[in-house]
Amino acid sequence: MNIQELNTALVTLIQKKQELSKLSYNDDRYDDVEEELHDLEDEFNDNYGEYLEDVLGDVHQKICPDTDVLLPTAYLPETLNAEGQADLSGKQGVWVEADAYPNKEARLVLVPNPTRLILSVGKTVREEVWNA
């Protein structure tokens, strides 16, 4: 697995999500950008899905065994800041039932620079649970 290519594809995909989020439904470019996003998601899942699903399966087994594994693209944040880092505020990533944090809202987020999975719990806990 070429981790640099994975990271680049991840950044490209999140940037396209960010571009789409800035457009209104009435924007003439909305449908085209949305189609580009879907194509990027399909390509990402085709190229990295099997590898990342194995990783996600292992992470889920260790951290949140009662939560189903979804497609890798479901775990992406909505935006990247100017430094290329994900802002993990809000409801980004996939909601999980983390055994270590009972009765707390926990989310797994696949972030770039470097490529890693972050367990985000509430406003204070940001725990790296896997890195490429």
The confidence band for 37, taking pLDDT boundaries of 50, 70 and 90, is very high
Mean pLDDT of 2-10: 96
Q: What is the pLDDT of residues 57-85, one digit of tens each?
A: 999 999 999 999 999 999 999 999 988 89
Beta strands in the chain (DSSP E): 94-96, 106-111, 116-121, 125-131
Whole-prediction pTM: 0.92
Q: What pLDDT sits at residue 124?
A: 85
Q: What pLDDT sits at residue 88?
A: 83
Mean pLDDT of 102-126: 93
Q: What pLDDT sits at residue 19?
A: 95
- Is 92's pLDDT higher than 80? yes
**Residue partners of 20: CB distance under 8 A and separation at least 6:** 30, 33, 34, 37
